[in-house]
Amino acid sequence: MLRLTIRDGEVFEGETALDLVRAMKGASMFSDVKDVLHYVAVVQERLKEIEGIELALAGEKLDDRCESFVRELDCLGLAKLQRLSGADLDQVEHMVRETARLLNAGDLPGAWKFLRPKLRLTPDELAELDRRLGLDEKKED
């Protein structure tokens, strides 16, 4: 699962870069855009015109072009691309809190320190759970 967060905070999710670009096209105000490749070309042109930013896009195939587009937006800081495992973070957070309550005498940091390396989550998901649990600023020495 991919998540792309644009500078203005708008979020798009999909299984592939093509899914992300399709969602972006669907949400865009460019009513004259015909298809995904046309949308990418319009965004590329507008970025050059308005912000002086040139996207170096590669790929002739639709999938390759969309991957290049999303990667460029991320590399240039125009968006943030995250790879997600698809885990339900609400359920994971609940499990950590219950583990702390039941097995760790309420010691949330201790339970999280034990569970964190065992979870198959992406770095972005782990950071989000750190934040949700209120443990993102508490670093171990």
Q: What is the pLDDT of residue 139?
A: 52
The model carries a pTM of 0.69
Quick one: tokens of 112? Answer: 């999280």
First to last CA, the chain: 34
Question: Model confidence over 95-106: pLDDT tens digits?
Answer: 999 999 998 788
Average pLDDT over residues 75-86: 92
- pLDDT on residue 104: 79
pLDDT of residue 29: 82
Residue written as tokens 């970025």? 47
Is the pLDDT at 84 greater than 90? The verdict is no
Is residue 126 helix, strand or coil? helix
- Which residues have CB under 8 Å from 70's CB, separation 6+? 2, 4, 17, 20, 21, 79, 81
pLDDT of residue 141: 45
How much is the average pLDDT of 4-30? 93
Residue 104: its H or E element = none
Q: Report the C-alpha gap between 122 and 65 in whole angstroms.
A: 25
pLDDT at 6: 95
Q: Compute the distance between CA of residue 118 and CA of residue 113 in angstroms, rounded to an integer.
A: 10
**Residues 18-47, mean pLDDT to the nearest whole number:** 92
Q: What is the DSSP string of 59-103?
A: -SSHHHHHHHHHHHHHHTTSEEEEE-----HHHHHHHHHHHHHHH
